Amino acid sequence: MVEKTRKILTCPQCGSVEIYYEAGMMTGAKYHCQKCDYIGAFVIEKDVPIE
């Protein structure tokens, strides 16, 4: 049996999942954390199982 997963983005500073895509285009993707105000291109992608 294959376990199905989905990817979630988390903040590299505080680990929050309250992170959203803010800007992009020529500079590349930038994300903003609502919890700690982190702004940057680096985010952590985690696989979580779908129930």
Determine the average pLDDT of the residues in 28-40: 92
Q: Are 40 and 31 in contact (CB under 8 A)?
A: yes
Tokens 């199982």 found at: 49
- Predicted pLDDT of residue 1: 64
Nearest to 11 by CA among 33, 40, 28, 37: 33
Tens-place pLDDT, residues 9-18: 999 999 999 9
- Predicted pLDDT of residue 8: 93
pTM of the entire predicted model: 0.76
φ and ψ at residue 11, rounded to 5 degrees: -75, 135
With 0-12 CB in 10 A as exposed, 13-18 as middle and 19+ as buried, what is 21? exposed
- Predicted pLDDT of residue 46: 93
Strand 5-10 with 39-40, pairing? unpaired
- Predicted pLDDT of residue 34: 95
- Predicted pLDDT of residue 17: 94
